[in-house]
Amino acid sequence: MYIEKINSPADIKALNTEQLNTLATEIRLGLMNRLSKRGGHFGPNFGFVEATIALHYIFDSPKDKFVFDVSHQCYTHKMLTGRKEAFFSDEHFSDISGYTNPEESEHDFFNVGHTSTSVSLACGLAKGRDLKGETGNVIAIIGDGSLSGGEALEGLDFASELESNFIILVNDNDMSIAENHGGLYKNLKALRDSKGKCECNLFKAMGLDYFYVDKGNDIEELISAFRKVKDIDHPTVVHINTIKGKGYEPAETHKEEWHWHMPFDPETGNDFYTGGGENYGDMTCDFLMKKMKTDKKVVAITAAVPTNIGFNEDKRKAAGKQFVDVGIAEEHAVAMASGIAKAGGKPVFATHSSFFQRTYDQISQDLCINNNPATLLVNTASVYGMHDITHLGIYDIPMMSNIPNLVYLAPTNCEEYFAMLDWSIEQDMYPVAIRIPCNGVIHSDKPVDTDYSILNKYKTTQQGTEIAIIALGDFYQIGEELAELISKKTGKIPTLINPRYITGIDMELLEHLKSSHSTVVTLEDGILNGGFGEKITRFYGTSEMKVYNYGLKKEFIDRYAVEDVLRDNHLTSEQIYSDIF
Amino acid sequence: MYIEKINSPADIKALNTEQLNTLATEIRLGLMNRLSKRGGHFGPNFGFVEATIALHYIFDSPKDKFVFDVSHQCYTHKMLTGRKEAFFSDEHFSDISGYTNPEESEHDFFNVGHTSTSVSLACGLAKGRDLKGETGNVIAIIGDGSLSGGEALEGLDFASELESNFIILVNDNDMSIAENHGGLYKNLKALRDSKGKCECNLFKAMGLDYFYVDKGNDIEELISAFRKVKDIDHPTVVHINTIKGKGYEPAETHKEEWHWHMPFDPETGNDFYTGGGENYGDMTCDFLMKKMKTDKKVVAITAAVPTNIGFNEDKRKAAGKQFVDVGIAEEHAVAMASGIAKAGGKPVFATHSSFFQRTYDQISQDLCINNNPATLLVNTASVYGMHDITHLGIYDIPMMSNIPNLVYLAPTNCEEYFAMLDWSIEQDMYPVAIRIPCNGVIHSDKPVDTDYSILNKYKTTQQGTEIAIIALGDFYQIGEELAELISKKTGKIPTLINPRYITGIDMELLEHLKSSHSTVVTLEDGILNGGFGEKITRFYGTSEMKVYNYGLKKEFIDRYAVEDVLRDNHLTSEQIYSDIF
């Protein structure tokens, strides 16, 4: 196997075209080994094998610098830069992350996991190079799906100002995570159809030079194109036409399902684990579809991750005009939701907590200053959510809950979640965000309130004395455990409170607690800094009440085990008990 | 005067072209009356008089809906929709805001002040209309300068998916606030030069239909174009070529100075008040220019508001490659700064606190996860800053200070600010943000530390007992006043502390305070929710310490008097004294 001898990019430069093609086949074996057993980004990596080989063949990394967008297509790059064991040796799977990572290799420049950042980051490397009077190529590698993101478009627009070497490799596989959305994709199609010759050209309209490669999975054609642009003295785009999932029939055929894939049997393509039982994605979709049928004003909006709330291809079709995927364009999604609500529609925009970070200004300016009654569903907003450093869901409470006018709700179980969602869609007074529960679908047979319009009314679920536990959202269950533990160990009943509202405090209830309680414990599923508990503590700042705040430390964490993080943050009920007694 | 008879848009539909032209002249008299006496956005409004008249002549507001981008060009619209007194009668100047405002009129749909939002907001109105099965035109009005913003580009890209009536009026005056930056402006020039006929067309590349109006200040030509697109059944751009500042020679000649202008003498164009004395804009520019001369790696970055840190046209030229204005593209600016720092450059990106809201995700993902040593200068981050609801600088502490890895500094005087800036540029360990002081240039002859690399070390500036005042940044002076008042009234010396670091607490110092203090008072120039003081209170949550947090309520405020806001938030030293004694 050639791959055995590749320990750095220099080692592939000696291979001829035939050998490079064999190398591509070997690389796919490595990809298949890791992906079938561990899961990961399938389509993006299978489609980008040849291009990565050709890049490393022509350019000289790390002097020439590759910046991968999202970096979910960097597996071949990792294999060619000294990290092949992480693909061929199962015991080394955990050596690497699923994204570029400067801590792993001098060939990686940024920790990246969000889309649409590569052009701007790479512009920075190029500008830094020019300031220092250095040389070398800087190459941003961006997929067609990422092009619809505002940051990418800002970067594309700015790039021509560099007036020095800068290469933007557009890896066009005619897919985002799901299908693309946006007018620019018509232009990409026209460019592909005309073999890059179409006069109307988005990239040229952005002031950039342009090259087209029709066979983006043909190493020879790629090498020839890259040779042309190497050491170019001005910014240019190289637009390559690739096949997502190339080399594995199920992935080529079912591109959306194989963008990211769970472990599977390579022979059949069947998943090893077929998840069963309830999940909030499908349940949210069913709820919204039912709403839509009786109310034409309801519209679900997603931003390139439609299955986040269960909208698979069939459901998207069934919803028709009442479903909108905007592509990777979260800023647009929030602003448009505000406009829809202003016009009397009932928009529900859902995405990951981590992706809402793109929309701070739109939530504040477009939505909340205007106080339009749109609904935002914040998914995987939890320590139980995604575990990669770039996809954490533990920062949205400080980010969103301090924006005026927003009503941010934290349901503690399934029935409460759907009651809140129903209320939010039907009311016309507030912009509302809801944290979709992330600790499993927990049912409750207790009665659920249906009207949340009187803001910041906490719900006392167990009346006790001395100690009051205010347990927010997904950490309500830890609060329950703690309450039980206290009862068991001390014989005294603590008060347990479901605050429900993240964005305000129930001053009347908190004031009342003073008369019969000496200690308050707050629990929240996110970092403590700027979060929920601190507001409770501020309320009691000049009183005799002792307040313990439990949540996570302000830090970036990566590929963690939930139980470790909970223990490190003193978040087990036993730990909390031992702190307060 | 025709304007006297115009009480609603219906009233202009009876006028003929000659009369409409006379109306335009009258409108400019009204604009001149208000702007010369009160100041405001000059160039954008003088250039958009004819287009606004033609819009209201052809379309039927409010059934047809105009959404203005930034909305700093909406003055003529206000005059034609029942608000002309605010221009012709000095005593009515305060009746209106400088932006569209739904509270003023049914012809305004959004409170808008940030750029690049109109297309997405208007998409929402159009989608809402379609969901409800209604009719009517929706028209987004966007300047060329705003087109470089990610949100606008996302909106432009998405718009073609609407498949129903949607009109994007691109008001191209070949200027942003300063000159435009970005490759797309070459395409706008090519379109203007070819009278819209150039094959390569950004808007068509975004999937949109396209019309061009060469004489964008000619009412007849505009009417003819708008007539063509009225009730169009698909999304289209109407690109009009206008003259910024049209009708007033100084504004046509010096477009940047007349984008927004202070009160002036209409005869000469000279300012009534010529500000004197020191200001942080010019001082920051001088400081950076000096740095640049000795270090080629230093680069100043702005995003369309270069004079924010003193970079007027001359300074920009003098700085050469070491100054970069990215246009309205804050996301790109932060990501590029991260890349420059990664490459060993020393980037300093400055913009308004309110505009940093666009960059939450870039600060978190592109910059802080990667821990690159870029410097962010946060301007007008203060209750003393800008007073319009869309431009408030009182939210950045909760927004930015809870992002891991960021070091956010709050200087209390001029010497400290420049010491922090110098340290930040020279260090290579942390991403650093600095709040530029906003309460005047206050000098101190006390020694200033030059090394801030040991994080979160607060500085005790007066050692006392019983009461400790922790006074952050611009509110340090309130802390000083309070300390004096306490000494005067009680004869006891309180401790006064300059915390300097917004992003962390000095646990050693706070712990030490417990031994000789019973009360801590925190002061911060921003909203309390998620802010600095709450972290101090959390530290003392389970102790005997009484903690008072002073800052602003979480709310949107508009066109306020600083003294009112301070008093309403109990922020005078007398009020605080009476609270704690």
Question: Is A345 in contact with B528 (Cβ distance < 8 A)?
Answer: no
Which one of A125, A337, A390 has the shortest CB-CB distance to B342? A125
Instruction: Quickly count: other Cβ atoms within 10 Å of residue B364's Cβ.
Output: 26
Residue B428 forms contact with A (CB below 8 Å): no
User: Residue B426: phi, psi to the nearest 5?
Assistant: -85, -20
ipTM tops 0.95: yes
Last residue of a domain, one of B419, B435, B451: B435
Are residues B8 and B157 both part of a single domain? yes
pLDDT tens digits along A162-194? 999 999 999 999 988 888 899 999 999 999 999
Which residues from chain B sit within 8 angstroms of residue A131, using beta carbons? Answer: 296-297, 299, 321-322, 340, 343, 345
Which one of B123, B205, B530 has the shortest CB-CB distance to A530? B530
Identify the domain containing residue B285 by its residue range: 280-435
Cis peptide before B235 (omega within 30 of 0): no
Give the CATH number, domain containing residue B391. 3.40.50.970
Are B423 and B397 in contact, with CB atoms under 8 Å apart?
Answer: no
Residue A558 forms contact with B (CB below 8 Å): no
Cis peptide before A62 (omega within 30 of 0): yes
* Integer-rounded Cα radius of gyration of chain B: 26
Residue B570 forms contact with A (CB below 8 Å): no
| Integer Cα distance of A173 and A244 in angstroms | 5
Q: Closest Cα partner for B54 from B253, B250, B225?
A: B225
pLDDT at site B172 = 97
Q: pLDDT tens track of chain B, all 581 residues?
A: 999 999 999 999 999 999 999 999 999 999 999 999 999 999 999 999 999 999 999 999 999 999 999 999 999 999 999 999 999 999 999 999 999 999 999 999 999 999 999 999 999 999 999 999 999 999 999 999 999 999 999 999 999 999 999 999 999 999 888 888 999 999 999 999 999 999 999 999 999 999 999 999 999 999 999 999 999 999 999 999 999 999 999 999 999 999 999 999 999 999 988 777 899 999 999 999 999 999 999 999 999 999 999 999 999 999 999 999 999 999 999 999 999 999 999 999 999 999 999 999 999 999 999 999 999 999 999 999 999 999 999 999 999 999 999 999 999 999 999 999 999 999 999 999 999 999 999 999 999 999 999 999 999 999 999 999 999 999 999 999 999 999 999 999 999 999 999 999 999 999 999 999 999 999 999 999 999 999 999 999 999 999 999 999 999 999 999 999 999 999 999 999 999 99
Residue B362 forms contact with A (CB below 8 Å): yes
Are residues A369 and A505 both part of a single domain? no
Structure tokens at B110: 């959004």
Residue A363 forms contact with B (CB below 8 Å): no
pLDDT at site A164 = 97
Residue B270 inside a domain? The answer is no
CA–CA distance from A87 to each of A39, A98, B21, B538 (Å)?
Answer: 12, 11, 73, 46
Residue A219 forms contact with B (CB below 8 Å): no
CA–CA distance from B569 to each of A482, A532, B383, B577 (Å)?
Answer: 38, 21, 11, 13
pLDDT tens digits along A20-55? 999 999 999 999 999 999 999 999 999 999 999 999
Are residues A251 and A285 both part of a single domain? no
Are residues A205 and A333 both part of a single domain? no
| Integer Cα distance of A116 and A329 in angstroms | 10
Residue A237 forms contact with B (CB below 8 Å): no
Are A166 and A123 in contact, with CB atoms under 8 Å apart?
Answer: yes
User: Residue A353: phi, psi to the nearest 5?
Assistant: -50, -45
Burial grade of A270 (CB within 10 A; 0-12, 13-18, 19 or more): exposed
DSSP A246: T
Are A460 and A449 in contact, with CB atoms under 8 Å apart?
Answer: no
DSSP B264: B
Are B144 and B188 in contact, with CB atoms under 8 Å apart?
Answer: yes
Are residues B159 and B81 both part of a single domain? yes
Residue B372 inside a domain? The answer is yes
Are A376 and A436 in contact, with CB atoms under 8 Å apart?
Answer: no
Are residues A119 and A155 both part of a single domain? yes
| Integer Cα distance of B206 and B208 in angstroms | 6
Residue A153 forms contact with B (CB below 8 Å): yes
DSSP characters over A150-200: HHHHHHHHHHGGG-S-EEEEEEE-S-SSSS--STHHHHHHHHHHTTT--S-
CA–CA distance from B114 to each of A153, B334, B435 (Å)?
Answer: 18, 18, 20
DSSP A34: H
- Chain B (5-34) residues lying within 8 Å, Cβ to Cβ, of chain A: none
Which one of B126, B357, B554 has the shortest CB-CB distance to A360? B357
Question: Is B158 in contact with A149 (Cβ distance < 8 A)?
Answer: no
pLDDT tens digits along A206-259? 999 999 999 999 999 999 999 999 999 999 999 999 999 999 999 999 999 999
3-state helix/strand/coil string of A130-160: HHCCCCCCEEEEEECHHHHCHHHHHHHHHHH
Residue A151 inside a domain? The answer is yes
Q: Is A444 left (phi over 0), alpha (psi -120 to 50) or beta?
A: beta
Structure tokens at A449: 């309130």
In a 3-state reduction of DSSP, which class is residue A476?
helix
User: Residue B130: phi, psi to the nearest 5?
Assistant: -65, -40
Structure tokens at A80: 């060619």
Are residues A506 and A427 both part of a single domain? no
Are A153 and B153 in contact, with CB atoms under 8 Å apart?
Answer: yes
Instruction: Quickly count: other Cβ atoms within 10 Å of residue A267's Cβ.
Output: 7
CA–CA distance from B579 to each of A508, B396, B477, B494, B562 (Å)?
Answer: 21, 27, 18, 15, 21
DSSP characters over A418-449: HHHHHHHHH--S--EEEE---S------S---
| Maximum Cα interatomic distance, chain A, rounded to a whole number of Å | 82
Are residues B299 and B243 both part of a single domain? no
DSSP characters over A341-388: HHTT-EEEEEEEHHHHGGGHHIIIIIIITTT---EEEEES-STTS--S
Q: Is A122 left (phi over 0), alpha (psi -120 to 50) or beta?
A: alpha
Give the CATH number, domain containing residue A495. 3.40.50.920
Orientation angle between helical segments B118-131 and A330-342, nearest 10 degrees: 50
| Integer Cα distance of B463 and B76 in angstroms | 58
Q: What is the mean pLDDT of chain A?
A: 97
Cis peptide before A250 (omega within 30 of 0): no
Task: Name the domain count of chain A.
Answer: 3
Which residues from chain A sit within 8 angstroms of residue B552, using beta carbons? Answer: none
Residue B140 forms contact with A (CB below 8 Å): no
Share of chain A above pLDDT 90, in %: 98
Q: What is the pTM of this model?
A: 0.98
Residue B64 inside a domain? The answer is yes
Contacts with B471 (C-beta within 8 Å, 6 or more apart), sequence order = B412, B477, B478, B479, B480, B482, B496, B497, B498, B499, B522, B523
Which residues from chain A sit within 8 angstroms of residue B401, using beta carbons? Answer: 529-530
Are residues A221 and A317 both part of a single domain? no
Compute the C-alpha angle B84/B89/B90, nearest 5°. 125
3-state helix/strand/coil string of A59-79: CCCCCCEEEECCCCCCHHHHH
Are residues A246 and A331 both part of a single domain? no
| Integer Cα distance of A459 and A462 in angstroms | 9
In a 3-state reduction of DSSP, which class is residue A490?
helix
pLDDT at A358 over 90: yes
pLDDT at site B276 = 78
Orientation angle between helical segments A49-58 and A219-229, nearest 10 degrees: 40
| Integer Cα distance of A501 and A489 in angstroms | 30
Q: Closest Cα partner for A50 from A203, A257, A244?
A: A244
- Chain B (87-106) residues lying within 8 Å, Cβ to Cβ, of chain A: 102
- Chain A (24-83) residues lying within 8 Å, Cβ to Cβ, of chain B: 67
Question: Is B344 in contact with A113 (Cβ distance < 8 A)?
Answer: no
Which one of A157, A341, A362 has the shortest CB-CB distance to B182? A157
Cross-strand pairs, A379: A352
CA distance B275 to chain A (A): 31
Q: In A378-413, where does DSSP find H-type helix?
A: 396-401
Which H or E element spans position B235?
strand B235-241
pLDDT tens digits along A249-296? 999 999 999 999 999 999 999 998 877 789 999 999 999 999 999 999
Tell me the average pLDDT across A48-63. 98
In a 3-state reduction of DSSP, which class is residue B317?
helix
| Integer Cα distance of B216 and B241 in angstroms | 5
- Chain B (320-339) residues lying within 8 Å, Cβ to Cβ, of chain A: 321-322, 324, 326-327, 329, 331-332, 335-339
Q: Closest Cα partner for A288 from A453, A424, A142, A114?
A: A424
Residue B453 inside a domain? The answer is no
pLDDT at site B106 = 98
Which residues from chain A sit within 8 angstroms of residue B533, using beta carbons? Answer: 538
Residue B548 inside a domain? The answer is yes
Are B243 and B173 in contact, with CB atoms under 8 Å apart?
Answer: yes
Which one of B335, B390, B541 has the shortest CB-CB distance to A121? B335
In a 3-state reduction of DSSP, which class is residue A524?
strand
| Integer Cα distance of B316 and A257 in angstroms | 51
Contacts with A459 (C-beta within 8 Å, 6 or more apart), sequence order = A449, A497, A498, A499, A500
Are residues A136 and A211 both part of a single domain? yes
User: What is the arrangement of strands in the sheet containing A466-471, beginning at the earlier edge strand?
Assistant: A459-462, A495-498, A466-471, A517-527, A546-552
How many residues in chain A?
581
pLDDT tens digits along A469-524? 999 999 999 999 999 999 999 999 999 999 999 999 999 999 999 999 999 999 99
Residue B271 inside a domain? The answer is no
Are residues B193 and B255 both part of a single domain? yes
In a 3-state reduction of DSSP, which class is residue A90?
helix
How many CA atoms does the CB half-sphere of B299 hold within 13 Å?
A: 32
Residue B274 forms contact with A (CB below 8 Å): no
Burial grade of B103 (CB within 10 A; 0-12, 13-18, 19 or more): exposed
Cross-strand pairs, B169: B141, B238
Tell me the average pLDDT across A49-77. 98
* Integer-rounded Cα radius of gyration of chain A: 26
pLDDT tens digits along A408-463? 999 999 999 999 999 999 999 999 999 999 999 999 999 999 999 999 999 999 99
Return the residue of A nearest to B322 by Cα. A131
pLDDT at site B274 = 74
Cross-strand pairs, A550: A523
Residue B272 inside a domain? The answer is no
